[in-house]
Amino acid sequence: MKNFLAKSCLALITILCLSSTIEAQTKPAGRRISIKLKPLTNCKVYIGSYYGKSLVLVDSTMLDANGQGVFKGDTKLTSGVYFVVTPQITKQFEFLMDDIQHFNIEGDTTVKEKATITGSQDNDLFKAYISFSSEKGQQLQNIRNEFNAAKTKADSTRLADEYGKVDKLVENYRNDIVKKYPGSLLSMLFSAMKRPVAPAVPIVNGKPDSLAPYRFVKNHFWDDVLFNDDRLLRTPFFEAKLDEYFKYYVSAEPDSIIEEVKYMLLMAKTGKEIYPYLLTKFTNKYMAPEFMGQDKVFVYLFENFYAKGDTVILNPASRKTVTERAYSLMANQLGLPAPQLDLVDSLGKTVSLYNLPSNFTMVVFYDPNCGHCKEELPRLDSFYRAKWKAVGMTMLGVNIYDAEQAAWKKFVTEKNLKNWIHAYQTKAAKDADEKAGRANYRQLYDIYKTPTVYLLDKDKRIIAKQLTIEQFDDIIQVKSKKPPTK
């Protein structure tokens, strides 16, 4: 019995060793990609790849007198869609960089479409697909041209049906690749680029559920996509699909965005390249967002990722920028109590924000020498006199430069801002803040341009910030239960 077990174990070890040897032979280490590129000789050529929306060069080799060279290295490149680049940094033809990076490329810069790649099953599949899709793509273009020229409804209907049939052939071709070659790079690409087709509007309890198609597409938008797959970055379509998703299928409300970025980043955490890429993308997008309030997403990213150690992906300058920006935004998020303002007016009397009882308070931080301020503050005053004063608005103008006393007083007089409360922080108060380690109001209110404007409710909570005057007016009219006037 012991001998039998010993022999069995020995046999198992032998099988495992053979399996390892076979796998090592099937997937050789590193990369070695031979290239012959006519009519180029004695020059450097490159391999490039997609990287999100960018194109990057990742390797190079010198072609000899026969136009031959070898891209080689001890490590493999991240799999994805790559292309050959000439010395003039001109993109030639695409190919797939799969996990077996030992193959041959032969091409001619005068007939890019004739390039051949041998020794790579993924590129055999890719070439066949390119040929098929080019043929069907031309058919679809011809049908579109006929459709645009159609003169009868019958012709339009017939052409639309033809278009659908050809388009379905392309879709079926891709689906067949996914089924027949599930482990191939091309299969992954087709799965990742796929868009779900919205179903017909269902009838629920006798009523059409018009949102059901939207929910279906949103819920299946990322089927078969793993966000920790670094190969996604090396495609021309992933980031475009990502942007499409956030534009059309994610609410602009910050909490909805946070749920999405949280899911994607946690899924991508084990990805070497895609995780820092996505974190950086979301950081840049929501550090200076398109819509008011979305900077809450950036604050979330800082508190839950950067503050927990992920600043290591940043260089010192970027780390400083991200950290300072986060601390500038933390105190002035929508719905939070506005930071305290203890100021003095032109006569030296104390002005405290929380001692100004009113239904609304508009705090305007400005520079009396700023050209834009000279245009915007009179416009704010016009809206105040015409509309906002009647709903209980207090206008608090804050001169951000204590040294500009003369220019400040002249500005207030010339612009006739007599119904406002005007104040500033003295140099002594600013120095006291610095000595005590307290954040200055410029940081607390994120004042990096002038004018910077905040709208507060009766409890001094932040309702809105950094909007146009017309947008502020719309919000004030809604909040005061009066419809906006045209």
Q: Does a structural domain hold residue 422?
A: yes
Q: What is the pLDDT of residue 475?
A: 96
Q: What is the pLDDT of residue 355?
A: 95
Q: Give the structural domain span for 147.
A: 124-193
Which of 55, 78, 109 is where one domain is finished?
109
In this structure, the answer to whether residues 293 and 400 fall within a common structural domain is no
Whole-angstrom distance, CA of residue 402 vs CA of residue 430:
9
Q: Is 234 in contact with 79 (CB distance < 8 Å)?
A: yes
Whole-angstrom distance, CA of residue 383 vs CA of residue 197:
48
Q: Does a structural domain hold residue 37?
A: yes
Q: Dmax over Cα atoms in the chain, in whole Å?
A: 106
Q: Does a structural domain hold residue 244?
A: no
Q: Is 417 in contact with 397 (CB distance < 8 Å)?
A: yes
Q: Is 359 in contact with 480 (CB distance < 8 Å)?
A: yes
Whole-angstrom distance, CA of residue 285 vs CA of residue 274:
16
In this structure, the answer to whether residues 271 and 370 fall within a common structural domain is no
In this structure, the answer to whether residues 314 and 347 fall within a common structural domain is no
Length of the chain: 486
In this structure, the answer to whether residues 69 and 163 fall within a common structural domain is no
In this structure, the answer to whether residues 437 and 393 fall within a common structural domain is yes
What is 265-281 written as a DSSP string?
A: HHHHTT-TTHHHHHHHH
Q: Does a structural domain hold residue 279?
A: yes
Query: Both tokens of residue 51?
Result: 């990287």
In this structure, the answer to whether residues 262 and 138 fall within a common structural domain is no
**CATH number, domain with residue 104:** 2.60.40.1120
Taking the model in full, what pTM does it have?
0.84
Q: What is the pLDDT of residue 16?
A: 36
In this structure, the answer to whether residues 61 and 83 fall within a common structural domain is yes
Nearest Cα to 444, choosing from 425, 421, 468? 425
Which of 330, 359, 383 is where one domain is finished?
330
Q: Is 305 in contact with 265 (CB distance < 8 Å)?
A: yes
Return the bridge partners of 420, or none.
Answer: none
Q: What is the pLDDT of residue 73?
A: 95
Q: Does a structural domain hold residue 6?
A: no
Q: How many CA atoms lie within 13 A of 73 on its CB side?
A: 11
What is 168-203 written as a DSSP string?
A: HHHHHHHHHHHHH-TTSHHHHHHHHH--PPPPPPPE
Residue identified by tokens 């868009």 is: 195
| Burial class for 234, CB neighbours closer than 10 Å (0-12, 13-18, 19+) | buried
Query: Mind listing the pLDDT tens digit of every residue in the chain (486 residues)?
Result: 444 334 444 343 333 343 344 344 457 889 999 999 999 999 999 999 999 999 999 999 999 999 999 999 999 999 999 999 999 999 999 999 999 999 999 999 999 988 999 999 999 999 999 999 999 999 999 999 999 998 899 989 999 999 999 999 999 999 999 999 998 999 999 999 999 989 999 988 889 999 999 999 999 999 989 999 999 999 999 999 999 999 999 999 999 999 999 999 999 999 999 999 999 999 999 998 999 999 999 999 999 999 888 777 888 899 999 999 999 999 999 999 999 999 999 888 999 999 999 999 999 999 999 999 999 999 999 999 999 999 999 999 999 988 788 899 999 999 999 899 999 999 999 999 899 988 899 999 999 899 999 999 999 999 999 999 999 999 999 998 855 555
In this structure, the answer to whether residues 429 and 464 fall within a common structural domain is yes
**CATH number, domain with residue 353:** 3.40.30.10
In this structure, the answer to whether residues 356 and 454 fall within a common structural domain is yes
3-state secondary structure of 251: coil
Number of domains in the chain: 4
What is 21-48 written as a DSSP string?
A: HHHHHHS-SSEEEEEEEET--SSEEEEE
Beta strands 102-108 and 31-38, pairing class? parallel
In this structure, the answer to whether residues 356 and 461 fall within a common structural domain is yes
Q: Does a structural domain hold residue 215?
A: no
Q: What are the φ/ψ torsions at residue 96 (nearest 5 degrees)?
A: -100, 135
Q: Is 466 in contact with 292 (CB distance < 8 Å)?
A: yes
Query: Both tokens of residue 347?
Result: 């006569």
Q: Does a structural domain hold residue 11?
A: no
Q: What is the pLDDT of residue 187?
A: 94
Whole-angstrom distance, CA of residue 361 vs CA of residue 373:
19
In this structure, the answer to whether residues 181 and 258 fall within a common structural domain is no
In this structure, the answer to whether residues 393 and 471 fall within a common structural domain is yes
Q: What are the φ/ψ torsions at residue 398 (nearest 5 degrees)?
A: -115, 115
Angle at 193 between CA 191 and CA 195, to 5 degrees: 95
Query: Both tokens of residue 402?
Result: 């204590």
Q: Does a structural domain hold residue 210?
A: no
Q: Which residues contact 343 (CB under 8 A, 6 or more apart)?
A: 350, 351, 352, 398, 423, 424, 425
